[in-house]
Every structure is written in C-alpha cells, then in structure tokens.
Amino acid sequence: MIPPDLVEEVVVNILRTAVTTLPSDVVSELQKAEAEESDEIARTQISTILENVRRAGEIAVPMCQDTGIPLFFVSGGCISEIEDAIKRGVVRATEEVPLRPNVVHPLTRRNAGNNLGIEMPHVNYSPGPRDYVDITVMPKGAGSENMSALRMLVPSEGIRGVKSFVLDTVVSAGSRPCPPTIVGVGIGGSSDIAMTLAKKALLRPLNVRNPHAELQALEEELLAAINQTGIGPMGLGGKTTSLGVRIDMAHCHTASLPVAVNLQCWAARKASARIFLDGRVTYSTEGFW
Ligand code: SF4
C-alpha cells in the first residue's frame, strides 16, 4: 500500500508544479506560433504570455491569478485512501502555494476557503496497474471552462454536424476563453460521457498524435479552420486562435450523436506523478504516454 502521507505530499507538489510551470509541449507550440505570427499585436500577445510563463517559473508563483478548480485523474491504487490524501493535499496547497480558493457552493456561493466542497476536489478514477498509481491534476480556470458546450446531434448530421458545432462553439466563445486555446472534443457515448471525453482529451500532449487515423485527420482539419477565424491570441486578431484540437470518442446509441467541447486557455496547466509501491515517485508535466 502507498502511504497516504506520501500521496498528500505528491498532491501538493503536482499542484505547485501545475500552476507555476507550463508543460513543455505547450511552451513549444507557443514559441512556434510566436515565430510564425505575422500580425504584430498577435505576436506581442504571445511574447507576453511566454514572458509571463518564464517569470512565473523563475520565482515559483502561479502563472495566472485564477488557479482553477482542482480536477484529478487517477489510475491504479486504492481510490478511497487516495481520495482522502488528495483532499488533504489540496487544503495544504491552497495555503502553501498559495492557490486562490475558488470552490463555492453552487447556489449559496459560500466559500469554505480551502478549495474543498461536495465532489471537490473532483477525482476521475480508472482502474490501472497494481504496482503503481498515476495522479494527474488539471487546475481548470473558469474563463475557458465557462465556454464548454454540449450538443446532442441527430446522427444524420454526422461529421459535418460535428465540425460545424465545434467551429460555432469556438467562434461564439471569441476572446473569453483566453486564446490561444486547446480545443478538447468528445464524440459519442452519452451526454455525460461526451463531456468527460472532451476534458480527458486535453490531457494528451500537443506532440502526441491521435491513435485513430480518422480523428487525427479531423483534429488537423478543425485546427486549420479554427485558425482561419481570425480571433487570434486574447481575441485581438491573428492566426493563432488555437494551439491544437484534441478529440476522444466512444461508441454510442444508434439514435444518438453527442458532441462536447471543452476549451482550455493558453494556461494549459497539468502535472502528473507516478507513485510506485516501494515509495519511488516520478514527476512529469506532460503525463505518462
Ligand atoms: S481562462 Fe485561463 S488564462 Fe484566462 S483567467 Fe482563466 S485561468 Fe487565467
């Protein structure tokens, strides 16, 4: 069994890393966009983002004032013990990093001040190998999360309907999700499965190809179309509206075609740890692929 104190410590570490360090695949895409942008205002926006990320890393402070809500993805291990340790780690990280206490009751808006609440931190669990546990945190800011969208398409709308819904969502979001974004898309399953797929799709690094050839082609086509909208970095124009499109899918009912979009702002923060039964820990900002 992995000691709960170790899990708690790891949670504090990955939360600190996630809010202060942008994964290298995202930094690389931002640098590439900076080099390729012909629009001066767009290039200045990207340069400012990169400078902000560099300074945040140097002095170990959050790269954005909105440190998000604590979303965790866990595979392997014993979930009940891990969940308790994650909660304690979130409380500590809120004080020690510090993180902005963003978690409130949905109706009264009461804030406990420690980022805990019903279903918060939220843990997505999937069974995995028994000799280690992987814990990934994705602190999700509200600006981009508020632009999430779900549509239950009629199956006859098919791939054209999917493309048009994704593009409409990005265009109507405009500057609000703090572009350049990463666009997570979930296709199939049911309404809730599609939303989860859209969020989980954001975990795949920008330099890892989709294992399904048809989804890989769709990602490339949608990215090209999104970057022709002219929204640009922070909505001020330019050709870098998104750094990538990430799509996951699930089989669905013959009478359904759910499609979900989850937008991720430029602050595409995540950090992972693999904890082995013997107490060894490996950290990564790109996850374990
Ligand atoms: S959407 Fe992202 S970059 Fe914009 S304020 Fe929220 S966390 Fe920060």
Q: Cα–Cα distance between 67 and 102 in angstroms, integer? A: 8
The confidence score (pLDDT) of residue 128 equals: 82
Identify residue 178 by its one-letter amino acid code: C
**Ligand 1 centroid distance, CA of 212 (Å):** 30
**Ligand 1 centroid distance, CA of 170 (Å):** 16
Ligand 1 atom nearest the C-alpha of 145 is: 1
The confidence score (pLDDT) of residue 66 equals: 98
145 lines ligand 1 (CB under 6 A): no
Q: What are 118-151's pLDDT values in tens digits?
A: 999 999 999 887 789 999 999 999 999 999 999 9
79 pLDDT above the threshold of 80: no
Ligand 1 atom nearest the C-alpha of 142 is: 6
Average pLDDT over residues 270-284: 96
Left if phi > 0, otherwise alpha if psi is -120 to 50, otherwise beta: which for 193?
alpha
Closest CA to 240 of 220, 257, 224: 224
Atom 4, ligand 1: residue with shortest CA distance: 178
Average pLDDT over residues 221-232: 98
pLDDT band for position 186 (50/70/90)?
A: very high
143 lines ligand 1 (CB under 6 A): yes
Q: What are 139-183's pLDDT values in tens digits?
A: 999 999 999 999 999 999 999 999 999 999 999 999 999 999 999
Average pLDDT over residues 29-36: 98
141 lines ligand 1 (CB under 6 A): yes
Task: Give the neighbor-by-neighbor strand order of the sheet with 132-140.
Answer: 122-126, 69-75, 132-140, 271-276, 281-284
Q: Cα–Cα distance between 186 and 200 in angstroms, integer? A: 9
Residue 21, both tokens: 């360090």
- On average, the pLDDT of the chain sits at 97
Class of domain 4-21+63-141+269-284: alpha beta
77 lines ligand 1 (CB under 6 A): no
277 pLDDT above the threshold of 80: yes
The confidence score (pLDDT) of residue 225 equals: 98
**Segments of the chain assigned E as strands:** 69-75, 122-126, 132-140, 149-153, 181-188, 242-250, 257-264, 271-276, 281-284
**Ligand 1 centroid distance, CA of 242 (Å):** 14
**Ligand 1 centroid distance, CA of 66 (Å):** 6
Q: What is the location of CATH 3.30.360 in the chain?
A: 4-21+63-141+269-284
Q: Which residues on adjacent β-strands are paired with residue 184?
A: 246, 262
Average pLDDT over residues 270-288: 95
Average pLDDT over residues 5-24: 97
Least confident of 60-64, 127-131, 253-257: 127-131
Closest CA to 188 of 245, 263, 254, 264: 254
144 lines ligand 1 (CB under 6 A): yes
66 lines ligand 1 (CB under 6 A): yes
45 lines ligand 1 (CB under 6 A): no
Tell me, rounded to whole angstroms, the distance of Cα 150 from its chain centroid: 17
The confidence score (pLDDT) of residue 80 equals: 77
- With contact defined as beta carbons under 8 Å apart, do 36 and 216 qualify? no
Ligand 1 atom nearest the C-alpha of 65 is: 8
Average pLDDT over residues 239-259: 98
Atom 7, ligand 1: residue with shortest CA distance: 141
Q: Cα–Cα distance between 199 and 248 in angstroms, integer? A: 9
99 lines ligand 1 (CB under 6 A): no
Can you count the helices (H) and strands (E) in the chain?
8, 9
